[in-house]
Amino acid sequence: MNNAVVLERLPLLPGATEQDTGKYQRRRVYIFLTRQGGMFCFMLMTMLVGAVNYNNSMAYILSFLLSSLFMICILHTYCNLRGLIIGMPECKPVHAGDRLQIPVLFENRIATYRIGIRLEYAPERAQQLALPPASCPDPLLLDFTKEGLQSAYITTTPMPRGVFHPGRFRISSTFPLGLFIAWSYIHFDRDCVVYPEPAGSMQLPEQSGDQSQEQPGTQAGSEDFTGHRAYHSLDPVRMVDWKKYAAGQGLLVKRFSGSGAGKLWFQWQSITDPHQTEQQLSQFCLWIMEADRRGLFYGLELPGLRIEMDRGSIHRHRCLHALAAHGSPASPA
């Protein structure tokens, strides 16, 4: 599991290797009394003082029994987190106004139960980053009943456009009796991308390029069919000639001439009002998605950035990522 954090003492885990030791980041597990644990400790001391004062053997037995339970709780609370491996896979991009689904992957290498694991945004970190409390993700509550992998998602409130860092999280547990709390802090080096909200006119801008040269293209709706070519992974599926495929001739893409040679440039210079930046980014987002749906070649020009003409899902993500990151540095999520 890449980009993962292990909670304390990786070399002692069953099956751990020296390669694992360098691959994972270590995070120490801290442990302290909870409020209930403090009250229990005070009650225990009171019982012990009473047993000494009155020389009561039953009070001694009960005090020592509860003291043993108190000490055992320390070990069990600590071991409930120790050795747990936490990683964060790539976060799926969303559009502005949607909720981010931050994926978290847990690996339990020890065949023991882990009960009541809580993962939440570190409150002091959120305050330090001036993160609105309403946008803090809801905590995750997890149980591990066997060895292996388990995935979960932290859902945020609707997010604005931008490139966000998930930030710092706290993982904790008060199992088994709530007398102690064990916790650790983890930070993942991941970006979560929120594209602009697609909005505006569906009408694409006029295509540029020398249309008279009748260069071959693959645009939907082109009138002159010129033949086939081999299918590539970035080609739109709707351009595949399924009749040829059914006849056993493999995956072939239809080629057209004429308007298929047109090129689309989405240029920042076309903005009419500098105060309508978000509206312009939303319009570019809609155009990029529409051009990608039609299988067109297109490029993007922003201040200080030029993305050359291309098409396909990788190119679409690159352009939309540029729109998401425009005008502001990465922010906490």
pLDDT of residue 12: 43
Cβ-in-10-Å burial (0-12, 13-18, 19+) of 280 comes to: buried
Percent of the chain with pLDDT over 70: 74
Return all residues near 204 (Cβ < 8 A) that are at least 6 apart: 264, 287, 290, 291, 296
Res. 117 pLDDT band, cuts 50 70 90:
very high
Least confident of 4-13, 102-111, 134-143, 280-289: 4-13
**Residue 261, pLDDT score:** 46
Give the pLDDT score at 254. 73
For residue 62, pLDDT over 90 is answered with yes
Closest CA to 170 of 148, 146, 186, 182: 186
Q: What's residue 311's pLDDT?
A: 85
Mean pLDDT of 86-112: 88
pLDDT tens across 175-210, in order?
999 999 999 988 888 888 999 999 888 788 766 544
Q: Of 83-97, 100-114, 221-235, which gets the smallest average pLDDT? A: 221-235
Dihedral angle of Cα 238, 240, 246, 247, to the nearest 10 degrees: 150
* Distance from C-alpha of 118 to C-alpha of 106, rounded to nearest angstrom: 12
pLDDT of residue 169 exceeding 80, the answer is: yes
The answer on pLDDT for 233 being more than 60 is no
- Domains in the chain with CATH codes: 4-79 (no CATH), 91-170+185-195 (2.60.40), 197-208+263-333 (no CATH), 211-262 (no CATH)
pLDDT of amino acid 20: 43
pLDDT interval class at 225 (50, 70, 90): low
Residues 210, 205: Cα–Cα separation, whole Å: 16
Give the whole-angstrom CA distance, residue 309 versus residue 156.
35
pLDDT of 274 reads: 60
More reliable by pLDDT, 44 or 208: 44
